Amino acid sequence: MKERQIHRRFVELSGGKDADIVVIPTASELETTGQDYNRIFRDLGAAEVDFLPITRRADCDNPRYLEMLDRASGIFLTGGNQLRLSTILGGTGIAQKIRRRNAMGVTVAGTSAGASIMSEHMIAGGDSNSAPVEGAVSLAPGLGLTNAVIIDQHFTQRNRLGRLLAASSYNPFLIGLGIDEDTAAFIGPDGVFEVVGSGTVTVVDASGLTHSSMWEARPGQALTLLGLKVDVMGEGCRYDLVGRHAYPPDAHAEFCALPNQAGTTRQQ
């Protein structure tokens, strides 16, 4: 099953049989989410798995939770509501600890809302099944594990190309990543990511824009965006976020074996 393949890859990158994984189910309002992921990662061979039952900002002051993150070799943020996740974690010691641990090489992964919040600029909401129009997407601060991309999820399944194009037009420096369900983008410390799973990752590079009407468009007005570059990448493809170049699957290419972050999305 591809979904387990993605989770298995995360466990391997977190230390395999020696992995100590901490799950943060805050985005979900289901009481069983943390326990469900504990079971998944234990079944895949992780040595230690626990979850942080953070449901309000005051929970982020718990010193035990910070200690758990200090010893973690992998951190996983579940799906749910990304605004619930950002408003509870944002600006807290937990958020700061996640950034510091990731900077030290600890693998951080997320699914759905947990994937969206990894970037500095997070898609907080917007219209699916829409052309790129002014007001099609709303942004909020994310965790800031990367400032190079902006991430959207359930991408093909919910037809979110229009809102990712609109998000990319706000700041053409950012690379838009549209991640399908049952698909992951594993980002290495060298700025190269690899696609794993049964779907695709759509990359929107707006750095070559020759014209954008975003600044003058009225609310709901269709946007003119000229000079965009779009890559649609299946399993095994790689993308260099620094050089902004996509590579096809290559059995002989060596991909970085120790990524320090990963973005995934799946059906909730």
Whether 28 is catalytic is no
User: What is the rounded CA–CA span in Å between residue 121 and residue 165?
Assistant: 14
Task: Give me the sheet containing 229-233, strands edge to edge.
Answer: 149-153, 175-179, 201-205, 229-233
Give the DSSP letter string of 204-260.
Answer: EE-TT-SEE-GGGPPTTPBPPEES-EEEEE-TT-EEETTTTEEE---TTPPPPS--S
Q: How far apart are the first and last CA of the chain?
A: 16
Which residue matches tokens 């129009």? 133
Q: How far is CA 46 from CA 50, 130, 210, 240, in A?
A: 11, 41, 49, 30
Name the active-site residue from 86, 116, 154, 212: 154
User: What is the rounded CA–CA span in Å between residue 159 and residue 161?
Assistant: 6
Which residue matches tokens 């200090």? 70
Burial letters 102-116, b for 16+ CB under 10 A, else e = beeebbbbbbbbbbb
Name the active-site residue from 3, 48, 134, 181: 181
User: Which residues make Cβ contacts (< 8 Å) with residue 184, sequence separation at least 6?
Assistant: 6, 9, 109, 195, 196, 197, 262, 263, 264, 265
Query: Counting every residue, how long is the chain?
Result: 268
Name the active-site residue from 112, 119, 168, 169: 112
113 token code pair: 């809302």
Active-site residues, by number, are 112, 154, 181
